[in-house]
Amino acid sequence: MKTDDLVTLLATGAAAVEPDAMARRYATALGWGAFGATLLMAILLGVRPDIAAAARLPMFWIKLAFPASVALASLFAASRLSRPGARLGWTPSALAAPVLAMWLLTAYVLLGAPAPERAGLVMGRTSEYCLFDIPMLSLPVLVATVWVMKGLAPTRLALAGAAAGLLAGAIGALVYALHCPEMEAPFVGVWYVAGMLIPAAAGALLGPIMLRW
Amino acid sequence: MDNHGRANAHEERLRNLLVRGLAGDAAAYHAFLKDLSAHLRAYFRKRLSGLLDDVEDLVQESLLAVHNQRHTYDPGQPLTAWVHAIAKYKLVDLLRRRAGRDRLNDPLDDVLDILAHNDSEAAAANLDVAKLLLRLPDRQRLPIVHMKLEGLSVVETARVTGMSESAVKVGVHRGLKALAAMIRTRR
């Protein structure tokens, strides 16, 4: 087939494209992914029994706000990386900001605590669960986000995969925070960050394999 | 005009055509794709000096990619950047498959270049899209043949094929994606 004929074939009957098609796909994927993560958490781990009492403490909300802001920033990064030629712009700073804020809070808490207690504040009692459960809860969003990206056009595949993984990890951490009994900033600053980075690294490895087009 | 001026003039014109095309103006969209194919041809020909046989295949593959992924164009974004990223992605993808056999004779990063030159003399493509079309399953091939080659509407295609209207639309969409994948992997 000559190229001109292919042009005619492609243009014939080409209907209008919905301008918000991309945003709607991301919204659908995140909705189902977050629902799946919440369901997994409720069935396999359970909501922490003292959640009503915990919700009166500021740390409970900081523990939610931190992954929520990482999720929002990585959603912006992922959607930009899904468009050919779109610049990342301010999204790396938006990703770094909540992590730096969490680390500042971590440093503040550690410096204010007596030296023998510091290790305990960082290690908590559930760090190994955190490292396993956050990546596990990130799976529904990871699958959904990769599915969305496959229908778009990422050109930097490892970076796009990493953004998808970080988005999934952040939603996984957000949902995990409803189960997790730890209430110290140093624990969140270390283990939540590590838990979110595991799916991000997996995404960076999977991207070049899964996202080709 | 220098490269920059020429690229700007083409950017304006093509962006306008694409935006109208995305809104459903098939004639504008046709003009956009036709112009774009000349730019893509010049871009690939310049960078594939040792692989001139592949230029037309790559032009067709990129046109299919532009069409299949056209919903990723944000009208607030420079068209040049979008087209360049797609063309470069397809070029790098081809070169990666041919790694070691040929060398680039030009840097790939000259974004402005893509709309500065055009070349309307098409060579023959090696891969015949019409033949690849025959290998698609009926549920994808028939909607493409009736809608895209014979110019029937969705309703008419649904009547002729006995498929539902949504199945017709899905068939066209998936069929064109499958064609793009076949062009990509068959070389």
Q: Sketch out chain B's domains with CATH numbers.
A: 1-126 (no CATH), 128-187 (1.10.10.10)
- Reported pTM: 0.88
ipTM: 0.87
A2, A3, A8: which to substitute to probe chain B, counting the most B Cβ within 10 Å? A3
Model confidence over B134-144: pLDDT tens digits?
999 999 999 99
User: Within a 10 A sphere around the Cβ of A141, how many other Cβ atoms?
Assistant: 29
Inter-axis angle of helices A21-40 and A127-150, to 10 degrees?
Answer: 150
- Kindly give the confidence (pLDDT) of every residue in chain A, 213 residues in length, as a single tens digit, with 9 standing for 90 and above: 889 999 999 999 888 898 888 899 999 999 999 999 999 999 999 999 999 999 999 999 999 999 999 999 999 999 999 999 999 999 999 999 999 999 999 999 999 999 999 999 999 999 999 999 999 999 999 999 999 999 999 999 999 999 999 999 999 999 999 999 999 999 999 999 999 999 999 999 999 999 999
Is the C-alpha dihedral spanning A32, A35, A39, A41 positive or negative? positive
Model confidence over B49-91: pLDDT tens digits?
777 778 998 999 999 999 999 999 998 889 999 999 999 999 9
Contacts of B24 in chain A (CB under 8 A): 14-16
CA distance A9 to chain B (A): 5
| CA-wise closest residue to A180 among A48, A72, A15, A90 | A48
Contact A152 B72 (CB under 8 A): yes
CA-nearest residue of chain B to A6? Answer: B60
The span from the CA of A46 to the CA of A50, in Å, is 11
Contact B63 A9 (CB under 8 A): no
Residue A11 domain-assigned? no
Q: What is the pLDDT of residue B151?
A: 87
Model confidence over B127-167: pLDDT tens digits?
788 888 999 999 999 999 999 888 899 999 999 999 999 99
Q: How many domains is chain A partitioned into structurally?
A: 1
Contact A21 B71 (CB under 8 A): yes
- By the CB < 8 Å criterion, does B134 face chain A? no
The span from the CA of A139 to the CA of B164, in Å, is 35
Query: Domain limits at A141?
Result: 20-210
CA distance B130 to chain A (A): 6
Longest dimension (CA), chain A: 77
Residue A15 domain-assigned? no
- By the CB < 8 Å criterion, does B91 face chain A? no
Residue A7 domain-assigned? no
* Tokens at B182, concatenated: 């076949």
Residue A134 domain-assigned? yes
- By the CB < 8 Å criterion, does A23 face chain B? no
Which residues, other chains included, contact A38 with Cβ-Cβ below 8 Å and sequence gap of 6+? Answer: A175, A178
Contact B33 A10 (CB under 8 A): yes
- By the CB < 8 Å criterion, does B82 face chain A? yes
